[in-house]
């Protein structure tokens, strides 16, 4: 008996010694939910200083938020195992305070830092509604820089459990995204906004520029004459052009794409404005010709000169007072401001809130280039009407909406992504004379593998600008101040640029899916006592039965042994 025990002890000691030098984990879940991606592990090994993480999702939480808290903590602990430097985790309960005033000051301080709370309404055991303030945020500090991460995804139309599940699915992406911003701050790639053709001004894209600046060096400028001028940029953004591009500028853009450059095109198919309607109540929509149609057509896409009117739309303030009376403004649905649906099948738009558009047109796929893959990103609702330019637009549509027969179209595409090898629009054409092309430069007629996104509405990237007597303020992109609601515009543009610039597959983390296994709440309420007995009483009963059976077995075994030993001793003595 001693030898097996000795062997077991030796094996245990050897396993302990080996585990000190070699770290490994086995994930037995079907979705590999506890396995970090290779990119995440590689990123964590680049950390050369301690990272401090403060989680504010703490306190008296319901089961859903406790799951999110636990998942966040476990994810960060997993990060720490692969990091060369420690990741220090601290839990802070924002609601813990000596009095109500101190609690209010704590809440206010967090909100001033951009950490907006979530109000949770719950029912207690007596059926009374209780309102709680929850801060689903994490604050990450590295080398003196701070990034705050919103842990909760709140997608309209989904129930609370679904949103919490999506939040858990997104944890690895959100946390690694924050670490990348902190660790790669001084090695950022470059992104450029094109100017010189009536594009949106710097103030009109101020909010998204600030968001992009957390990842990239963001420049603005005109194209110029040098064919290589765009080569240093990872992504080029064409946002809201209203004036024609020259053939020279188109050639430089084309060669940038042929050499693997990525472009985000945001172009209006019809030129009009809400300001003109507000002033005169009627306006005209005309075709927005900026001399890029042939170029986009060659690449495989077209922006149709139409306007979409959608029953699923945003609201605008209109004066409902009669002529001569004091203006009285009320909110009313405005069909030309559609709320676009996001595709659940692409990592750019998966789990995004609807995107707010203004005077959107449609994209159409053309050509048969098998080397290019085309995917839909944004689309209208199932009740969409179409008007072809030129057309008259009038605010009278609010009081006299079209009949249901007008809204006969469904899921009209507004944004799409194309990836692959594109044909040059300048194939079999002369190089424009005023383009500077070095002798060593090779003009290409077929592109390296690359990708581009085309959006048929420039207003998707435009933030509102609030002008007062003392200051000019850019509102958050996608924020509707009339209804105090944030739409998904900023996330859509940010995800798009990140996807276009991504060569390592970071955005694929957004595609992770865990099976959602929800409990039947109705069954929980009606069968509460039964399941409490099954989970609490039954294990105790089984334990007692096992103990009694074990004692009976021992009594029978050792009782018979003692009896037989006594008989044997008796006969031996005789």
pLDDT tens for each residue of 39-67: 888 889 888 889 999 999 988 888 888 99
pLDDT at 549 over 80: yes
Q: Could you read off the pLDDT of 483-517 as tens digits, one per residue?
A: 889 999 999 999 999 999 998 888 888 877 766 56
Least Cα distance to 173 among 348, 335, 399 occurs for: 348
Angle at 496 between CA 72 and CA 266, to 5 degrees: 150
Helix (H, G, I), strand (E, B) or coil at 292: coil
- Res. 305 pLDDT band, cuts 50 70 90: very high
User: What does the pLDDT read at residue 97?
Assistant: 86
- Res. 317 pLDDT band, cuts 50 70 90: confident
- Res. 561 pLDDT band, cuts 50 70 90: low
pLDDT at 31 over 90: no
- Res. 406 pLDDT band, cuts 50 70 90: very high
User: Residue 533, Cα to own-chain centre: how many angstroms?
Assistant: 43
- Res. 6 pLDDT band, cuts 50 70 90: confident
Question: Which residues lie closer than 8 Å to 369 by C-beta, 6 or more apart?
Answer: 300, 420, 422, 423
User: What does the pLDDT read at residue 569?
Assistant: 56
pLDDT at 223 over 80: yes
Least Cα distance to 456 among 380, 515, 512 occurs for: 380
- Res. 558 pLDDT band, cuts 50 70 90: confident
Q: How many whole angstroms separate alpha carbon 367 and alpha carbon 410?
A: 23
In 469-515, which ranges are E strands? Answer: 472-474, 479-480, 485-486
**Cβ distance 192 to 236 under 8 Å?**
yes
In sequence order, the β-bridge partners of residue 452 are 263, 418
pLDDT at 478 over 70: yes
Q: How many whole angstroms separate alpha carbon 245 and alpha carbon 571?
A: 118
Q: How many whole angstroms separate alpha carbon 470 and alpha carbon 472?
A: 7
H/E run at residue 499: helix 489-501
Q: How many whole angstroms separate alpha carbon 452 and alpha carbon 456?
A: 13
Share of the chain above pLDDT 90, in %: 53
Enumerate the H helices of 215-325 as residue ranges: 247-258, 274-280, 293-299
- Res. 28 pLDDT band, cuts 50 70 90: low
Q: Could you read off the pLDDT of 164-181 as tens digits, one per residue?
A: 888 998 999 999 999 988
DSSP state letter for 401? P
- 22-36, 271-285, 528-542 — which is least confidently predicted? 22-36
pLDDT at 217 over 70: yes
Sign of CA dihedral 545, 546, 549, 551: negative
pLDDT at 323 over 80: no
Phi and psi, residue 464, nearest 5°: -70, 150
Q: How many whole angstroms separate alpha carbon 406 and alpha carbon 60?
A: 52
Q: In Å, what is the CA distance from 44 to each residue of 38, 54, 176, 507?
A: 10, 18, 9, 17
Q: Could you read off the pLDDT of 414-432 as tens digits, one per residue?
A: 999 999 999 999 999 999 9
Mean residue pLDDT across the chain: 87
User: What does the pLDDT read at residue 149?
Assistant: 93
User: What does the pLDDT read at residue 566?
Assistant: 57
Q: How many whole angstroms separate alpha carbon 109 and alpha carbon 396?
A: 46
- 120-124, 232-236, 254-258 — which is least confidently predicted? 120-124
- On the CB side of 506, CA atoms within 13 Å amount to 22
- Res. 236 pLDDT band, cuts 50 70 90: very high
**Placement of tokens 């074990």 in the chain:** 550
Least Cα distance to 460 among 216, 190, 268, 313 occurs for: 268
């Amino acid at each position: 008996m001693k030898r097996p025990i000795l062997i077991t002890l030796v094996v245990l000691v050897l396993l302990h010694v080996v585990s000190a030098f070699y770290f490994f984990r086995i994930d037995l879940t079907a979705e590999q939910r506890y396995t970090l991606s290779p990119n995440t592990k590689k990123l964590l090994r680049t950390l050369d200083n301690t990272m401090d993480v403060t989680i504010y999702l703490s306190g008296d939480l319901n089961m859903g938020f406790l799951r999110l808290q636990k998942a966040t903590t476990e994810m960060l602990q997993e990060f720490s195992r692969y990091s060369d430097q420690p990741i220090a985790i601290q839990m802070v309960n924002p609601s813990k305070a000596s009095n109500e005033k101190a609690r209010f000051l704590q809440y206010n301080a967090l909100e001033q830092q951009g950490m907006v709370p979530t109000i949770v309404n719950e029912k207690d055991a007596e059926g009374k509604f209780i309102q709680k303030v929850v801060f689903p945020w994490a604050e990450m500090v590295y080398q003196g820089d701070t990034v705050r991460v919103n842990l909760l995804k709140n997608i309209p139309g989904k129930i609370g459990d679904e949103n919490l599940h999506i939040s858990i699915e997104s944890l690895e992406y959100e946390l690694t995204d924050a670490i990348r911003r902190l660790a790669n701050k001084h090695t950022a790639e470059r992104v450029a906004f094109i100017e010189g053709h009536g594009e949106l001004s710097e103030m009109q894209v101020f909010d998204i520029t600030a968001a992009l600046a957390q990842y990239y060096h963001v420049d603005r400028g005109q194209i110029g004459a040098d064919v290589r001028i765009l080569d240093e940029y990872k992504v080029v953004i064409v946002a809201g052009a209203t004036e024609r591009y020259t053939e020279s500028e188109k050639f430089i853009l084309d060669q940038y794409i042929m050499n693997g450059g990525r472009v985000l095109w945001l172009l209006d198919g019809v030129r009009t404005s809400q300001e003109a309607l507000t002033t005169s109540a009627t306006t005209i929509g005309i075709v927005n010709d900026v001399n890029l149609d042939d170029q986009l057509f060659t690449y495989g896409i077209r922006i149709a000169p139409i306007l979409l009117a959608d029953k699923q739309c945003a609201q605008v303030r209109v004066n409902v007072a009669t002529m001569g009376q004091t203006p009285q403004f009320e909110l009313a649905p405005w069909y030309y401001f559609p709320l676009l649906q996001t595709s659940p099948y692409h990592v750019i738009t998966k789990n995004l809130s609807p995107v707010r558009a203004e005077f959107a047109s449609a994209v159409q796929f053309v050509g048969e280039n098998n080397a290019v893959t085309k995917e839909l990103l944004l689309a209208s609702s199932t009740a969409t009407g179409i008007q072809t330019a030129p057309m008259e637009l009038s605010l009278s549509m609010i009081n006299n909406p079209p009949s249901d027969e007008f809204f006969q179209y469904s899921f009209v595409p507004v944004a799409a992504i194309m990836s692959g090898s594109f044909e040059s629009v300048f194939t079999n054409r002369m190089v424009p004379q005023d383009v500077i092309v070095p002798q060593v430069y090779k003009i290409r007629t077929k592109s390296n593998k690359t990708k581009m996104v085309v959006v048929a509405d420039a207003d998707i990237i435009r933030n509102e600008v609030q002008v007062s007597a003392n200051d000019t303020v850019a509102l958050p992109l996608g924020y509707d101040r009339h209804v105090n609601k944030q739409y998904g515009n900023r996330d859509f543009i940010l995800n798009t640029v990140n996807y276009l610039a991504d060569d390592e597959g970071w955005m694929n983390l957004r595609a992770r899916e865990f099976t959602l296994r929800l409990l039947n709440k109705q069954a929980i309420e009606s069968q509460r006592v039964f399941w409490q007995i099954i989970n609490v009483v039954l294990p105790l009963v089984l334990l007692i039965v096992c103990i009694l059976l074990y004692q009976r077995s021992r009594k029978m075994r050792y009782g018979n042994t003692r009896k037989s030993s006594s008989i044997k001793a008796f006969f031996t003595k005789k």
